[in-house]
A and B are shown apart, each in its own frame.
Chain A
Amino acid sequence: DARVTQTPRDKVTEMGQEVTMRCQPILGHNTVFWYRQTMMQGLELLAYFRNRAPLDDSGMPKDRFSAEMPDATLATLKIQPSEPRDSAVYFCASAWGNVIDTQYFGPGTRLTVL
């Protein structure tokens, strides 16, 4: 059963701490997206990669957020230092090739920054 996996599923941390979220895309998918969902802003694209190269990170606050793909099976999203306004659900999604309209979402990481 091919699916996107994300860890951790829940994370509670204190302001100022570093947070790392991980995503394993569906095997064979070469395009990976990071989204953030809040009640106020809805679902927003933070960044996406194709073949491990960043294509668009315009939605990501550059001063504290960073996204990488160390290899084809792992994407990471890091926040350092974290702030209460970063509290949200972070979704990873993956797609194959240029068919980015068919994205498969992971279960999400619920982040709470106290």
Chain B
Amino acid sequence: DTEVTQTPKHLVMGMTNKKSLKCEQHMGHRAMYWYKQKAKKPPELMFVYSYEKLSINESVPSRFSPECPNSSLLNLHLHALQPEDSALYLCASSQESLVRLPPDTQYFGPGTRLTVL
């Protein structure tokens, strides 16, 4: 099973709303990622969790708040977003190791298409 699931598939929210994106994988991967992809652009890394700890934050605004409740789940909490935050938000996971080994591929979920009004 190489599936990463994301909910919801689509989300429309106002600038004053609070919402959350969810991501789940059951492949035993210990690294999970959030990417943002604008239309006709490549994905851009936002956050990386390794062994349930935040290891990379690519200078993302605080209106995006990641959370990793356990090794299978990754959330992205959204608050006071701007219209320019409208994008496809992709979750990914990969096998990671505490030693320097070649990584497995990052497997991507189907994404949540977010529209901020």
A and B interact physically:
no
- Which residues of B are in contact with A by a Cβ distance under 8 Å? none
